[in-house]
Structure 1
Amino acid sequence: MEQHNAGRTPVTVIGLGLMGQALAGAFLRNGHPTTVWNRTAAKAEQLVKQGATLAGSVSDAVAASPLVVICVSDYDAVHGLLDPLGEVLDGRVLVNLTSGTSAQARETAEWAAGRGIDYLDGAILALPAGIDAGDEAVIYSGPRPTFERHEPTLRSLASGTMHLGDDPGLASLHDVAVLTMMWSILNGFLHGAALVGTAGVPATAFTPLVKMLIGTVTGWLDGYAQQIEEGTYPGFDSTLDTHVDAMEHVIHESESLGVNAELPRFVKALADRAVAAGQGGDGYTVLIEQFRKP
């Protein structure tokens, strides 16, 4: 694949797991001269055929480009690769797309600042196939001027490219927040599919109803978010007491059908605590106070 690189920022990608390969491929498709490195060099073979340059070492990879993107297994691996490099990192912009916590992101930003490295932390809200399809989202945090300077290049990776703020921990924090939401939706779907499955209803037949209801719940979110910001939880549509009654129905139905009831029991346990605190007449969003507690 020929690189159409006139005026395109050279980029280095360190780490060629499935996601790293997808990232490097996206830069190549968008005409960026792309250098790659991976501990197992064989993972670069297809990218080299597409026009990438395989560096012989991490140091050579960093030296090849002003913009260095790293996507490896964890932050320990990031530091294991980059800490020994010394001055070769001077003047580079480091974009860390490795998954981790907000504390790790902030600590790495401090490490970078101490070495004169411009640093952006990021999180990829997609599978590798999403990068290839061009319908993904990548979020970033760190100094806005650094992001804006390289935003055109970073947009090669994602149609949904967002900068969340100067705090370098914000991308990782949003990432884990989105993950807990994703698992809640998926676990609810799986539990529901298990329930209707006891009556011989296929999951494929259950799915259209679930998608419709997800759309309905999505419509509630703006109003719920406003309630959270205001700290008021009106029960004008349904009180928490009413929800608790429905939760008991879900638990009873699950147990009577031989379906695991741990998920609805956990949700009800949170609601019961709020009711015990005198909040049964409030709306469902009052449960934010339970999630805020250690």
Structure 2
Amino acid sequence: MSSPTEAPAVTVLGLGPMGRALAGAFVNAGLRTTVWNRTPGRAAALVARGAVSAAEAQEAVAASPLTVVCVVDYDAADSVLRREAVTAALRGRTVVNLSADTPDRARDAAAWAASHGVRYLDGAIMTPTTTIGTPQAVILTSGPADLHQEHLPVLEALGGSLTHVGEEIGLAAAHDIALLDIFWTAMTGYAHALAVARAEGIGARRLAPFAQGIAAILPPIFAEMAGQVDDGDFSGEESPLTSAASSMAHIAHTSEAHGIEAGTMRAAQALVRRAIDEGHGGDGFTRIAELLGRR
């Protein structure tokens, strides 16, 4: 077994809940872990476990060949990485940016890194803090495949599935945006359903088991729809858009009868109505993806 001084080194910038989870996973894996946070005082527990707290960001990045960044967004990341002293310390080293933002911001960050001699991978964390360092963690990276492979032995300490989704630097963020689109749309739908159910005298706990049943049928539907969209198959033999339009109208009417705002459902209903007006009433719901994707 390697001694602590022989172990690979890694730096973590940002010690919010996720940053602390990342740093903790590196410490648990026996890596020489240096940490830094803009607001002092968050490193104490990590230091007690063996991490080193740097006084300045440039000191932190100089301590390791690999720096993992996890802050609230790319504005916050840029405010640290683009300081003159930090940029100078990063030259020739690798940054893996696990902060959340848009694909365009990832591309801008990569262009900045290339112009300053900084090696760069973008990334996205798709699971909660409690999964980090466990088999349940799901983390995506994008950028040079050889750079991903070079740092994989260290990044694997974060646990679970660490997947390189492609060389185009914006792909990790693009996956993140698309997957969070599913999550927040579903969460909004569930919150709305609970409000409607309550207005009709159905308690949230009473509805929840049936809601879980709805959620359970979605994975095979997702897989089937994905194949149909990729193949350009919009068949709606089993569930045409005309049927969906009727169901959506009932939901919106019931909601509004109770004074519950139904804007999300009305927006979905408008998309379905548009497809029907264009002559696609007999198509399935996959037609909506084609309609939304038109330029």
TM-score, length basis structure 1: 0.93
Single out whichever of 150-159 and 125-134 deviates more from structure 2: 125-134
Asked whether 1:143 is paired with 2:166, we answer no
Q: Is the 8 A contact 1:14 1:58 kept in 2?
A: yes
1:50 deviates by 1.0
Q: Percent identity?
A: 38
Query: Structure 1 CA distance, aligned partners of 2:17 and 2:218?
Result: 33
Number of residue pairs matched by the alignment: 292
Query: Structure 1 CA distance, aligned partners of 2:185 and 2:115?
Result: 39
Single out whichever of 102-111 and 284-293 deviates more from structure 2: 284-293
Q: Is the 8 A contact 1:4 1:31 kept in 2?
A: no
The gaps in structure 2 that reach 5 residues or longer are none
Aligned to 2:98: 97
Q: Is the 8 A contact 1:122 1:172 kept in 2?
A: yes
C-alpha offsets along residues 36-77 of structure 1, whole Å, 9 cap, x if unaligned? Answer: 111222111111111110112111111101111111232222
Query: Structure 1 CA distance, aligned partners of 2:30 and 2:180?
Result: 32
Query: Structure 1 CA distance, aligned partners of 2:3 and 2:188?
Result: 45
Query: Structure 1 CA distance, aligned partners of 2:148 and 2:197?
Result: 48
Q: Is the 8 A contact 1:4 1:32 kept in 2?
A: no
1:4 deviates by 6.8
Query: Structure 1 CA distance, aligned partners of 2:3 and 2:26?
Result: 11
Give the partner amino acid of 1:90.
Answer: R
Aligned to 1:292: 293
Give the partner amino acid of 2:290.
Answer: E
Give the partner amino acid of 1:62.
Answer: V
Aligned to 2:89: 88
Give the partner amino acid of 1:123.
Answer: A
Structure 1 segments of 4+ aligned residues over 3 angstroms from their partners? 3-8
The secondary structure found in structure 2 opposite 1:278 is helix
Sort the Cα spacing of 1:4 and 1:16 in 2 relative to 1 into closer, same or farther, 3 A.
farther
Q: Is the 8 A contact 2:133 2:157 kept in 1?
A: no
Root-mean-square deviation (CA, aligned residues, Å) is 1.8
Q: Is the 8 A contact 2:11 2:61 kept in 1?
A: yes
Aligned to 1:175: 176
Single out whichever of 152-161 and 282-291 deviates more from structure 2: 152-161
The secondary structure found in structure 1 opposite 2:225 is helix
Single out whichever of 130-139 and 195-204 deviates more from structure 2: 130-139
Asked whether 1:51 is paired with 2:44, we answer no
Query: Structure 2 CA distance, aligned partners of 1:39 and 1:196?
Result: 45
The secondary structure found in structure 1 opposite 2:108 is helix
TM-score, length basis structure 2: 0.93
Sort the Cα spacing of 1:44 and 1:134 in 2 relative to 1 into closer, same or farther, 3 A.
farther
The secondary structure found in structure 2 opposite 1:155 is helix
Query: Structure 2 CA distance, aligned partners of 1:189 and 1:77?
Result: 32
Query: Structure 2 CA distance, aligned partners of 1:5 and 1:276?
Result: 68
1:135 deviates by 2.4
- Matches for 1:84-163 after TM superposition, within 5 Å: 84-85=84-85, 86-131=87-132, 135-163=136-164
1:5 deviates by 4.0
C-alpha offsets along residues 136-184 of structure 1, whole Å, 9 cap, x if unaligned? Answer: 2111101111111111211212312111000110111111111110011
Query: Structure 2 CA distance, aligned partners of 1:217 and 1:106?
Result: 33
Aligned to 1:63: 62
1:240 deviates by 0.5
Query: Structure 1 CA distance, aligned partners of 2:248 and 2:3?
Result: 58
